[in-house]
Structure 1
Amino acid sequence: MFGPRKSLASVTQHAEGHALAKTLSWPHLIALGVGAIVGTGIYTLTGVGAERAGPAVILAFAIAGAVCACAALAYAELATMIPAAGSAYTFSYAALGETIAWIVGWSLVLEYSLACSTVAVGWSGYLVGWIQSAGIHLPAALLVGPHGGGIVNLPAVAVALTVMGMLIAGTRESATLNIILVIIKLVALGVFVTFALPAFNADNLHPFMPYGFGSTELGGEKRGVMAAAAIVFFAFYGFDAVATSAEEAKRPGRDLTIGIVGSMLVCTVIYMAVAIAAVGALPFQQLANSPEPLALVLRSLGQPLAGHLIALAAVIALPSVILVMMYGQSRIFFVMARDGLLPRRLAAVSPRTGAPTLITLLTGVGIAVVAGLFPLDKIAELANAGTLIAFIAVGASMMVLRRTAPEMPRLFRCPAPYVVGTLAILGCIYLLFSLPSSTLTYCVLWNAIGLIVYFAFGRRTSIVRRNAAA
């Protein structure tokens, strides 16, 4: 019904010149996860979430984290069972069939490309705020896209292209630099909590849920805890990139479990502490939609130097999120091309670095264009829609493979798999329908375009179909 399935035995077998080099150990994988998760979500979307849920943005972070925790457990089981690049796309191909795998892969392209663009726009906001606080003012037309009356968000374009160059230089080198950037981010968030928490004022938490719990349309915008959860969900899902790196892990059975589960635990604790400190220190109306909410809190508390340093840390370290997300998208494209669903020449890897250079170049240019022209909140919402579809597929794939391949060794076994898988699916469906209706419309259009590409090209050139026919 959903096309041929890729056999579990063939998932890790690849032709010469189309296999990725094994260069990553568990510290690299934890840093990939934390690098992707701790980023624009906490540095910039805290303000967007506060605007949609008020002080209950704290609860929105907790709900989004709980849904992601269920998905992360499913990811950990599947990634250690199927140590191949492609994450949710590869899992779906083995469990649910080629057509579903294509939809998931196409949705992951949406996730990663728009996630990169979102972070690039968020990074631009911190850079501009930091430069302006130093008394330097840049031409407004080069700091915002056409939606804001400008020409292009030039800093966002520049950072996307710079990160692309780093990835082309090599995976291990990029991952090592990412560890350094992650440490800078964590230190900066620790400084923020240290300064903001003593200024906690319980009055700032009233009313706690000014727009209610559910996602409702108010003034043309979705409001409520679940509406905020549907967008701050963006802040948690970087662990998908850890699963995408499975083929490049030196010891995938051990390292992937540590990377996926470890990064989620670390980041959930960090997010809750930062959200409580931010909302407790400043009324949510002042935080709402600020492009640099954490720096704003510190400046408002009479700590301009700390605010300046937080903004500087974001400028230095947020590119690590772009690095991880761009890495993830290039690997999804790479695996789809290797399977014949996209032009196979895109799956060539560099003999020097063992990384897919051409696909990384195309990915980086596409991300730079989106980052230069579109606003942060709209990009994040659409990226979330693609991710939620992928997470639903992962929950389903884990449960299906428990039935169809019970004999396969599972180096990490998800506890209560049918309960966790069902909760991941239901939670993601609820969050999906908490997104604005326009976002859902764009998501449907994106996947309709994808299905046209699949039936016009991918279905005819699929290697799995060709092997089955032979």
Structure 2
Amino acid sequence: MIEKLFRSKSLETLKAQAEEPEHQLRRNLGTFDLTMFGIGAIIGAGIFSSIGTAAAGHLADGRLPAGPALVVSILLVAVGCGFTALAYAELASMIPVSGSAYTYAYATLGELMAWIIGWDLLLEYAVSNVAVAISWGDYARSFLANVLGVHVPGWLAMDPRTALQLLPASPPMGLGAKLHLLAQARAGLADGGAVFANWQVLRDAPLVAGFPVTVNLLAVVVTVGVTYLVYLGIRESARANAVMVVLKVLILAAVVAIGARFINPGNWHPFAPHGFGGIQAGAAIIFFAFIGFDAVSTTAEECRDPGHSLPRGILLSLGICTLIYAAVALVVTGMLKYTDLAGKADPLAYIFSQNHMNGVAGVISLGAVIATTAALLVYQVGQPRIFMAMSRDGLLGPWFGRVSPRHRTPSNATLLTGLLVAIPAALLSIDEVVELCNIGTLFAFSVVCAAVMILRKRRPEAVRRFRMPWIWVFAPAGILACLWIAKGLPAVTWIRFFAWLGLGLVIYFAYGLRNSALHTRTEEA
């Protein structure tokens, strides 16, 4: 039994499976495309929304503010991600197979760990895309209202939990008590505005059996549209992503160039108001803005020359985004006191509106819409290819691995990913998914750093078109960096993470263990 759990796949087997005609994808991508995919994935909801929370913190939840030292948080996270990016680059050049960290774990740590990583990657790709879709809905609604004068009703732009939130001064109450109070307020027997934080939304929302119907419709619309584009083909997705990346980089460059004229150096004092503790807390939050460079590796089977292009795409995208993030952080904390950023969902637009530049604020809102669309696109590309790799190995059913004969994309997995993102995005709040996504990604990054060291020992003769420098220093440093960032996450996130892994293990032992392709081959032999 123990041997089954830790059986691994050879590099030769992994490559051979990718070349099977029924599994082949269309090879269209080069270094430029992969770099654009990486930037498209990294620059998304994170820099446009979480930069304010990372700088200002949230003391009620135990999150210390980084203050102007957020730029240090960004650089430390970039260094930690850089170690992991080097590990991804070496593994991607060795194993040019869709599946990312899941495939690397299968080749080194065995089937059980591969399943855990594959299940864990759902947190990074599908679950993080829920957060991206929600953020897209918020920015799109703001842009439609403030720039185009189109107002989306609040009950069509908010999840049920957020809609039913109470004001801070209100006493805590359960769902039943909230619905009873809502019924009284709707009947004019109570003051809903004195209790509910989003009373206007609840007042206008239709009721079903006394429950207010609220849904983030915009998040659903963009998810459906992006999923359809990904279904059509990787070439179409790459072209659309490249256009969006150019636009959002230009907008962020404009933010830095214009905002630099309004910097007040006094806002940078104190630089680190809560010392290293605040810097670590800021790193734990801003890490969400760095997730994505690893998504490049999921397109390995669609690269013309993966050994050459994958490492360059991964490292270039991370380096470019780090420079942009550091510049934006310095401008943001220089234009406005970091404490004024608390609770701001659109901090970049807010800062410019505070400086009476509403036109610039509107352009920034457009940039956020473009940025989150591109990030949504890349993650929707990544998750189906992981499903496909797990299906090939028998850990998921063959339905997940079906490739469209016409479009040469993993069709069923793409449509399923669309559902897995659209439904939660319609009904959940962004706070419930961001930190869970962070811890899942940190776990996967740690495994990749371990995998690259294991293969150096097990397969030193294997062809590596890119080699991680100083591997016995950088790879352990990558693991320690992930642990340091994860330490800044609240305890409830860890509890949810282990509950998620527990659910995944139940599915593995119920289905994956018995249907594994390695298990089938062993029985046939």
Same fold (TM over 0.5): yes
Amino acid at match of 1:16: P
Q: What pairs with 1:288-307 in structure 2 (closer than 5 Å)?
A: 288-307=342-361
Aligned partners of 1:109 and 1:333 also within 8 Å: no
Structure 1 residues 437 and 340, CA gap change in structure 2 (3 angstroms): same
Aligned to 1:122: 135
**TM-score when normalising by structure 2:** 0.86
Q: Which of 113-122 and 267-276 deviates more?
A: 113-122
Match for residue 29 of structure 2 among 16, 19, 24: 24
Taking the aligned partners of 1:196 and 1:183, their CA distance within structure 2 comes to 20
Aligned to 2:244: 181
Match for residue 98 of structure 1 among 111, 114, 120: 111
**Structure 2: where are the runs of 5+ without partners?**
58-64, 164-200, 202-213
SS at match of 2:418: helix
Match for residue 280 of structure 1 among 334, 349, 364: 334
Tell me the C-alpha RMSD between the 2 structures: 1.4
Deviation at 1:372, TM superposition (A): 1.6
Aligned to 1:203: 266
Aligned to 2:10: 7
Asked if 1:40 is matched to 2:94, the reply is no
Aligned to 1:141: 155
Amino acid at match of 2:464: R
Amino acid at match of 1:391: F
Taking the aligned partners of 1:141 and 1:260, their CA distance within structure 2 comes to 40
Aligned to 1:51: 56
Q: Which of 53-62 and 441-450 deviates more?
A: 53-62
Larger Rg: 2
Q: Which of 371-380 and 414-423 deviates more?
A: 371-380
Aligned partners of 2:43 and 2:371 also within 8 Å: no
Taking the aligned partners of 1:37 and 1:48, their CA distance within structure 2 comes to 18
**CA distances 1:246-275 after superposition (whole Å, capped 9, x unpaired):** 111110111111101111111110110011
Aligned to 1:81: 94
Aligned partners of 1:145 and 1:153 also within 8 Å: yes
Asked if 1:445 is matched to 2:458, the reply is no
**Structure 1: where are the runs of 5+ without partners?**
215-223
Aligned to 1:241: 295
What is the total number of aligned residue pairs between the two structures? Answer: 461
Match for residue 399 of structure 1 among 444, 453, 456: 453
Taking the aligned partners of 1:153 and 1:365, their CA distance within structure 2 comes to 14
Taking the aligned partners of 1:144 and 1:48, their CA distance within structure 2 comes to 20
Taking the aligned partners of 2:97 and 2:410, their CA distance within structure 1 comes to 15
Amino acid at match of 1:287: L
Deviation at 1:48, TM superposition (A): 1.9
Taking the aligned partners of 1:71 and 1:276, their CA distance within structure 2 comes to 25
SS at match of 1:426: helix
Amino acid at match of 1:104: I
Q: Which of 450-459 and 314-323 deviates more?
A: 314-323
Q: What pairs with 1:251-290 in structure 2 (closer than 5 Å)?
A: 251-290=305-344
Match for residue 131 of structure 1 among 131, 134, 144: 144
Deviation at 1:136, TM superposition (A): 4.0
Percent identity, aligned pairs only, is 42
Taking the aligned partners of 1:387 and 1:238, their CA distance within structure 2 comes to 10
Match for residue 362 of structure 2 among 308, 312, 316: 308
Taking the aligned partners of 1:344 and 1:289, their CA distance within structure 2 comes to 45
Aligned to 2:211: none
Aligned to 1:427: 481
Amino acid at match of 2:457: R
Aligned partners of 1:37 and 1:321 also within 8 Å: yes
Deviation at 1:334, TM superposition (A): 1.2
Aligned to 1:218: none
Taking the aligned partners of 2:397 and 2:291, their CA distance within structure 1 comes to 28
Taking the aligned partners of 1:146 and 1:280, their CA distance within structure 2 comes to 36
Q: Which of 61-70 and 450-459 deviates more?
A: 61-70
Amino acid at match of 2:16: Q
Aligned partners of 1:12 and 1:82 also within 8 Å: yes
Greater than 4 Å deviation, 4+ residue runs = none
Aligned to 1:220: none
**TM-score when normalising by structure 1:** 0.95
Taking the aligned partners of 2:500 and 2:99, their CA distance within structure 1 comes to 20
